[in-house]
Amino acid sequence: MENDELKKKIEEQGLKIDAIFTSVEKTRKYFLMIVWVSIIAVVLPIIGLFFAIPSFMNNYVNSLGGGDSINSPSSTSILNSIKDLGL
């Protein structure tokens, strides 16, 4: 009689462990998805800034120096100064 009860309890625990495993796997997948979305939300804007900042700096420097292009002497010297500062 005790053996039957023990077998029944073990089977119930096995079912509960399977349910816990399923829940843990779903949680792991959600967590992994959130991590990827967070990484994408941070990395993609940074990559975009690598392309946008030079364009903005070019426009800003040209407006300061009054030059027509990036090759004007005043804008070149300003860009070199910025480069020397490590910005």
Domain boundaries, the chain: 2-85
CA separation for the pair 62, 52 (Å, rounded): 16
Inform me whether the pLDDT recorded for 66 exceeds 80: no
Q: How confident is the model at residue 73 (pLDDT cuts 50, 70, 90)?
A: low
Q: How confident is the model at residue 71 (pLDDT cuts 50, 70, 90)?
A: low
Model pLDDT, residue 30? 97
Inform me whether the pLDDT recorded for 57 exceeds 60: yes
Model pLDDT, residue 42? 93
Inform me whether the pLDDT recorded for 20 exceeds 90: yes
AA letter at 56: F
Contact (CB, 8 A) for 79 and 57: yes
Model pLDDT, residue 65? 72
Give the count of alpha carbons within 13 A of 4, CB side only. Answer: 1
Model pLDDT, residue 62? 80
